[in-house]
């Protein structure tokens, strides 16, 4: 592969849990200098301590302009520059369309779409210097219709679409833009949104097993593996990389 992870400076938003956390462990284990952020300071601190000296926890909210500036600055200082921005932070919001609130919709677009776009702009001068990369997260929700999940699906559709446009825009500046599209992975995203408890989330995810070609949901580390690839792949830009065990295929045994 084109690049080595050893010494690579990476900023992972939403690094305190789930897929973001798995990215922190996978990348630091290979020698990358990873700054991770999230709103719950204890959560990211615990992950950073487990990951060791290659990780730095910087509490912050991606919807705050001041926090976005602080997290970029911290990553540049810790890593001696910034090579890869991994936009993992996101939230779930779902409900019947006639019950959605303006505030709820604005919140989810703010954290899931607007914040990663603004962070990308802020990181750009540093990414240019390193001929770096931006990674967004789409979702199988853009491929399979989950009734009631229109707000979340709409935000993920936006990210998948802007991946191509930004790749075209930033390619001439030497910066790659990619998107990972995971399928079902048991994390805390639904529980944080107050939609279900841990046991219900686990049962729901297990019930999705047969809908996967591989027959099971994935793990956060299996998704992080594709982030590791995209961080290093010099000729990969503008594409959405599906990593979903075949959930998006719509396997039908009629
Ligand atoms: N799990 C799946 O099945 C799945 C499938 C497709 C796509 N994805 C995508 O994968 C990515 C990771 O999700 P996940 O499943 O790993 O969920 P997760 O465990 O809930 O991780 C999301 C993280 O984002 C952080 N976060 C949320 N809002 C934030 C904000 N305003 N500022 C800073 N941090 C914020 C949360 O921490 P704090 O609350 O402490 O801030 C949390 O640690 C997301 O983009 C998600 O849409 C997941």
Task: Give me the CATH number covering residue 186.
Answer: 3.40.50.720
> Which two structure tokens, joined as six digits, stand for 43?
């959560």
Please indicate, yes or no, if residue 239 is contained in any of the structural domains. yes
Spatial neighbors of 56 by CB under 8 A, at least 6 apart, are 33, 34, 35, 36, 48, 74, 75, 78
pLDDT for position 82? 98
> pLDDT, tens digit, for every residue of 100-149?
999 999 999 999 999 999 999 999 999 999 999 999 999 999 999 999 99
> pLDDT, tens digit, for every residue of 11-43?
999 999 999 999 999 999 999 999 999 999 999
What pTM, to 2 d.p., does this model score?
Answer: 0.98
Q: How far is the CA of 225 from the centre of ligand 1 (A)?
A: 17
Please indicate, yes or no, if residue 16 is contained in any of the structural domains. yes
C-alpha to C-alpha distance for 21 and 33, rounded to whole angstroms:
14
Q: Which atom of ligand 1 is nearest to the CA of 87?
A: 45
Q: Which atom of ligand 1 is nearest to the CA of 40?
A: 40
Residue 152 catalytic?
yes
Ligand 1 neighbour 91 (Cβ under 6 A)? yes
C-alpha to C-alpha distance for 154 and 139, rounded to whole angstroms:
10
**Averaged pLDDT, 166-179:** 98
> Which two structure tokens, joined as six digits, stand for 90?
């996101």
pLDDT for position 1? 65
Domain residues for the domain of 155 are: 9-244
Catalytic residue among 152, 158, 176, 240: 152
Q: How many domains does the chain have?
A: 1
Ligand 1 neighbour 188 (Cβ under 6 A)? yes
pLDDT tier, 152 (very low <50, low <70, confident <90, very high otherwise): very high
Please indicate, yes or no, if residue 3 is contained in any of the structural domains. no
Q: Which helix (H) or strand (E) holds 182?
A: strand 176-182
Please indicate, yes or no, if residue 254 is contained in any of the structural domains. no
> Which two structure tokens, joined as six digits, stand for 94?
């779902």
Backbone φ and ψ of 242, nearest 5°: -80, 130
Please indicate, yes or no, if residue 95 is contained in any of the structural domains. yes
> pLDDT, tens digit, for every residue of 217-240?
999 999 999 999 999 999 999 999
pLDDT for position 254? 80
Mean pLDDT, the chain, rounded, equals 97
**Averaged pLDDT, 200-210:** 94
Ligand 1 pocket: which of 41, 48, 189 to mutate (most atoms within 8 A of CB): 189
Ligand 1 neighbour 79 (Cβ under 6 A)? no
Please indicate, yes or no, if residue 251 is contained in any of the structural domains. no
Spatial neighbors of 175 by CB under 8 A, at least 6 apart, are 124, 127, 128, 131, 132, 133, 134
> Which two structure tokens, joined as six digits, stand for 110?
């703010």
Please indicate, yes or no, if residue 230 is contained in any of the structural domains. yes
Q: How far is the CA of 59 from the centre of ligand 1 (A)?
A: 15
C-alpha to C-alpha distance for 175 and 131, rounded to whole angstroms:
5
Q: How far is the CA of 1 from the centre of ligand 1 (A)?
A: 28
Portion of the chain with pLDDT greater than 70, in percent = 100
Please indicate, yes or no, if residue 4 is contained in any of the structural domains. no
C-alpha to C-alpha distance for 73 and 51, rounded to whole angstroms:
21
């Amino acid at each position: 592969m084109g690049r080595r992870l050893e010494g690579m400076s990476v900023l992972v938003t939403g690094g305190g849990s789930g897929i973001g956390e798995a990215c922190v462990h996978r990348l630091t284990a290979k020698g990358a200098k990873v700054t991770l952020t999230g709103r719950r300071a204890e959560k990211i601190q615990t992950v950073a301590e487990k990951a060791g000296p290659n990780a730095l926890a910087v509490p912050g909210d991606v919807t705050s302009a001041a926090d976005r500036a602080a997290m970029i600055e911290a990553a540049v200082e810790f890593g001696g520059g910034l090579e890869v921005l991994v936009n993992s932070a996101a939230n779930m919001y779902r409900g019947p369309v006639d019950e959605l609130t303006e505030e709820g919709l604005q919140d989810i677009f703010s954290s899931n779409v607007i914040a990663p776009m603004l962070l990308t702009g802020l990181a750009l001068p540093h990414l240019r210097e390193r001929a770096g990369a931006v990674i967004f997260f789409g979702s199988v929700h853009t491929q399979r219709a989950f009734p009631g999940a229109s707000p979340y699906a709409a935000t993920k559709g936006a990210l998948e679409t802007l991946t191509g446009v930004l790749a075209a825009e930033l390619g001439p500046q030497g910066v790659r833009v990619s998107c990972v599209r995971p399928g079902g992975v048991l994390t805390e995203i639904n529980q944080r949104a107050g939609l279900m408890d841990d046991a219900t989330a686990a049962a729901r995810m297990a019930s999705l097993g047969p809908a996967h070609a591989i027959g099971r949901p994935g793990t956060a580390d299996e998704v992080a593996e594709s982030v590791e690839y995209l961080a290093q792949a010099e000729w990969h830009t503008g594409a959405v990389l599906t990593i979903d065990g075949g959930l998006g295929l719509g396997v039908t045994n009629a």
